[in-house]
Structure 1
Amino acid sequence: MTRVKQSVVLAVSALLSWQATAHPHSFISMHSQLVNKDGQLTAIDMRWTMDEITSADLLYDAGNAKPGDEVWKQLAAEVMANVLGQHYFTEFWHGKQKVKFENRPTAYGLSRDGHKAVLTFTLPLASPQPLAGQSYRFSTFDPTYYVDMHYDKEANVTLPADAPEGCKLSVHTPKPNEDLTAYALSLDKADAPPEDMDLGQQFAQQVTLTCP
């Protein structure tokens, strides 16, 4: 397990992405579903599917383990610890007020989907947020842009079945200018952009939730 701890970046062994010569080096395809209880937003169910190169080390350690075997639980705990260390790689806003999360997910797990590793977890909000007449926005990203975290399509973000009538979701995908894109492409594995640049945020998709 030590190898995984040393190599996991954003909950995965991104250092195995030896084929990449520029940022990003690892890719995660996301699905998110909002969780509603009694007309209040309480959590986000997340599913992160890692690219095959990124998944290789985790799946190697899992071997032929079946779903539910102890090795999956151990790997999931290590991966989740890295995600928690970065505050779920997620920012959630209500107007200009940042919404806080609980320190621990209410559920999480790691599994195999072909040659890809899949992390699932429930990200709980520290306090339920009212939906009626409100608007929220959230983004999930690696600040260094070492890992590209993205929704392949807008339909990969969904409302709960019991969401108040009229609530809508939209996904905005930014279009960074040529200079910023060229800078990201110029970064090698050993390079890291300045912290105050927050490079990953400039490439991050933003999800907006509005309810009448």
Structure 2
Amino acid sequence: MHRITGAAALWLLTSQQGALAHPHSFISLQSEVMVADGHFYALKMRWTMDEITSADLLYDAGDAPAGSEVWKKLAAEVMANVLGQHYFTEVWHNGKKVTFRDRPTSYSLARENHQAVLSFVLPLATPQPLAGQTYTFSTFDPSYYVDMHYDDDKDARLPADLASRCTLKVTTPTPGDEVLDFANSLDKADAPPEDMNLGKQFAQQVTLQCQ
């Protein structure tokens, strides 16, 4: 049986899952707004992959110690795929999409029990002012092959010194029956039309609002 490479394992699963409805893979998100000099300049991300999604990455890593060249190579492969999808993330301000730098300022891949954890800092192309401003951001796979979600609203965080001036709110959408039925009709070999942006319809939205 052909084994999926570590780079692809971020959003592809082994054939053991069979033909099931979308999504096929699950990633638990944590994010923290990074601030300096009154400006929002980056998101600190932590993505924990489910055990099946993690299996190939952990197999490739073997018994290599944390921080070794093996882990660095795997991290680079996974990060390259994430970059190819614009970090799977959108940030919006005043109806306009905020752009990102084309490389993370740091990233790493690690093992936690039977799960792979990707951590990285997603830098905005230009730091954005916070005072009196509202931003929204969301992380999702457009195809909805991967369900990317916050297990708890508290997994989207603010730095402690910003808590008195800003709030974060996580909103979880409720797609209609037609969208749910369509997602349930897809198997592993199917891909929804690109213009449908299926994953975005399931994506949680985080709202950052500052005084």
TM-score by length of 2: 0.95
Where does structure 2 lack aligned partners over 5 or more consecutive residues? none
Once residues 200 and 42 of structure 2 are traced to their aligned partners in structure 1, the CA distance between those partners, rounded to angstroms, is 22
**Aligned runs of 1:8-87 on 2, under 5 Å?**
8=8, 12=10, 14-16=12-14, 18-19=16-17, 21-87=20-86
Cα distance per residue 1:96-142 (max 9 Å; x no partner): 11100000000000000100000000000000000000000011000
Once residues 155 and 15 of structure 2 are traced to their aligned partners in structure 1, the CA distance between those partners, rounded to angstroms, is 25
CA 1:122–1:112: 2 relative to 1, 3 Å? same
Deviation at 1:16, TM superposition (A): 1.4
Cα distance per residue 1:14-41 (max 9 Å; x no partner): 2316325110000000000010001100
What amino acid maps onto 2:5 in structure 1?
A: V
**Aligned runs of 1:1-212 on 2, under 5 Å?**
3-4=4-5, 8=8, 12=10, 14-16=12-14, 18-19=16-17, 21-163=20-162, 165-212=164-211
Once residues 151 and 158 of structure 1 are traced to their aligned partners in structure 2, the CA distance between those partners, rounded to angstroms, is 11
SS at match of 1:4: coil
Where does structure 1 lack aligned partners over 5 or more consecutive residues? none
CA 1:164–1:50: 2 relative to 1, 3 Å? closer
Alignment size in residue pairs: 208
Cα distance per residue 1:135-171 (max 9 Å; x no partner): 0001100000000000001000000123263200000
Q: Report runs of 4+ in structure 1 exceeding 4 Å deviation.
A: none
Once residues 48 and 135 of structure 1 are traced to their aligned partners in structure 2, the CA distance between those partners, rounded to angstroms, is 24
What value does the CA root-mean-square deviation take over the aligned residues?
Answer: 1.5
Asked whether the 8 Å contact 1:164–1:211 carries over to 2, the reply is: no
